[in-house]
Chains A and B, each alone.
Chain A
Amino acid sequence: MQNFWSIPRISRRAWKVWHRNLVVFFRTWHVNFFPPLIEAFLYLFAIGMGIGSYVKEIGGIPYVNFIAPAILAIAVMNSAFFECTYGSYVRMYYQKSFDAMIATPLSIEDVIAGELLWGATRSVLYVVIMLPVLAAFGVISFPTSLLAIPLAFLGGLMFGGIAMCFTAITPSIDTLNYPSFLLITPMALFSGTFFPITLLPILFQYIALALLPLTHLVAVMRMLTLPAMTGVLILHLAWIILVTAIFCIVAINLMKKRLIV
């Protein structure tokens, strides 16, 4: 029985894997930079201006300002999750890149850690691209909103870790559709993103708080962009850090089990 909880031995070489992905990302920057820009505009117009013109405000906050942090949080989730599912799976299974890497001084732990760090970095890049757009529309406040950048790294690491667990156990690339539709899409809708979770039946509120990572990320993000910080921020952050640590450790051990034969 493989130990899923053993602390992986990661060396600084993990950054080489991260750097490899960074180089590829910037070489194809023209396809990588536009999606987050366009995504920000789409959400702002469709939901912010569209629905916002009926809703006006939630709890005294203009509706567009209410959803702005959700746009950021969803971008953090999507970019890390899809990078560490489809992106990592393609590199692992189709390109056999991991096999090539572990023939060098890189260990499998280094490779997966590098992939997770890269997933988180991608979230950061998305947020960095989106922030000026949201700022231009005047729907977020500075300087506290700048803290969204480090938060994006932490949130990206969390969703990257969750994603990598699915990548480690998925039998094929098609079955990665299940977590996308059964986990990511509902989360994007029911985690206090476009309406407060207090509108949900009380049972679902508990479920959202206990099990949906995005709930906590959106909550912290909103405290930063409005800004409206309270002591609960610490609880949300603690939840995120704990879950991040658990999933990243389990992900590396699962991947080790999958790749070492």
Chain B
Amino acid sequence: MFGFLGPNGAGKTSTMKIIACVSPRTSGTLTVFGMDPETCPVEIKQRLGVVPQETNLDPDFTCYGNLFTYARYFDIPADSAHQKAEELLEFVQLQEKRDVTVEKLSGGMKRRLILARALVNNPDLLILDEPTIGLDPQARHLIWERLKMLQSQGNTIVLTTHYLDEAARLCDRLVIMDNGKILVEGSPADLVKQYVGNEVVEVEKTEEVLSCLTGKNIPFEVIGDNIQIATESSREVIRILFDQCTPHNVLTRPATLEDVFLKLTGRKLRE
């Protein structure tokens, strides 16, 4: 499973659309399954499954109808399409909603149905553009579980996400991108280690702590009224803090992908 991470406007969705033969590229080369999307879009799309960011299920059909009709777009014969639709409804646990129009589904059910829809053609590559956007924890976990199941069956999955815990949990490798450029690439654990360290110590911002840390030459970052110190060994830092800086509210936590992300892409708000 491969992830594309980046702030809004970084170019994640554009990348997905170019891979999916929907948007043309302005320059450069790209091959999908060894083919050029410009010359062989049909052959490529035949083997792709796409979960778009926007929910675009067909409101004129039921859950079953959506899967069946979509399968027919892939030239799948009617009886296989029927079988596949039933199978996938079970896979995403929507058998009970089989004959319900999609407008009556909750957000989580819609996303599950879109995932099922992306699987109707047994894709060799599954492209997920923010698969769990706007979902409650229960629905996210079900989607994650299903994605892991697909992964263990040997499927290749490419996803974009804003949720860094999701990326850390699912991706074998990922890139962080911004302004259309790839900043770093690696496995989530390696990236955290390389760019932040093992742990982060957070401490309430006071003049005392600030001058103390500056004096000790310990690198730190101020975020609001919080000071964050990335470190290989929190014990060392905490010992210094308590011995010499009289800190309030000290908290130690493992370094996360979010620290890497914010470090590389900055804290400025994106449109």
Contact = CB atoms under 8 A, between A and B. Distances in A.
Contacts of A16: 72-73
B60 A105 contact: no
B113 to A, nearest CB: 12
B74 to A, nearest CB: 6
Given A105-B42, A105-B74, A107-B41, A99 B69 contact: no
A203 interface: no
Contacts of B121: 104
Interface string B50-84: 10101111111100000001101111000000000
A102 B41 CA distance: 10
B158 to A, nearest CB: 14
A37 interface: no
Contacts of A11: 42
Interface in B28-65: 41-42, 45-46, 48, 50, 52, 54-61
A105 B45 contact: yes
B24 to A, nearest CB: 7
A95 B73 contact: no
B75 A100 contact: no
Contacts of A106: 73
A182 interface: no
Nearest to B68: A23
B52 A99 contact: yes
A13 to B, nearest CB: 7
B73 A107 contact: no
A144 B60 CA distance: 38
A260 B52 contact: no
A103 interface: yes
Contacts of B52: 99-100, 103
B45 A99 contact: no
Given A260-B23, A261-B23, A100 B74 contact: no
Interface string A62-91: 000000000000000000000000000000
Contacts of B46: 105
Interface residues of A, number: 22
Contacts of B54: 96, 99
B70 A100 contact: yes
B73 A13 contact: yes
A97 B58 contact: yes
Nearest to B49: A103
B45 A104 contact: yes
Contacts of A27: 60
A20 interface: yes
Interface in A21-77: 23-24, 27
A101 interface: yes
Contacts of B260: none
B73 A101 contact: yes
Contacts of B57: 100
Nearest to B66: A100
Interface string A96-125: 110111111111000000000000000000
A97 B52 CA distance: 12
A106 B55 CA distance: 19
A160 B175 CA distance: 46
B22 interface: yes
A8 to B, nearest CB: 14
B20 interface: yes
Contacts of A24: 60-61
Contacts of B55: 96
B161 to A, nearest CB: 19
A103 B60 CA distance: 19
B154 to A, nearest CB: 22
Query: Which of B22, B60, B69, B75 counts the most chain A CB atoms within 10 A?
Result: B60
B127 to A, nearest CB: 9
A27 B60 CA distance: 10
A103 B22 contact: yes
24 contacts: A16-B72, A23-B69, A95-B58, A95-B60, A96-B54, A99-B22, A99-B54, A100-B57, A100-B58, A102-B22, A103-B20, A103-B22, A103-B50, A104-B45, A104-B70, A104-B73, A104-B74, A104-B121, A105-B42, A105-B45, A105-B46, A106-B73, A107-B42, A261-B23
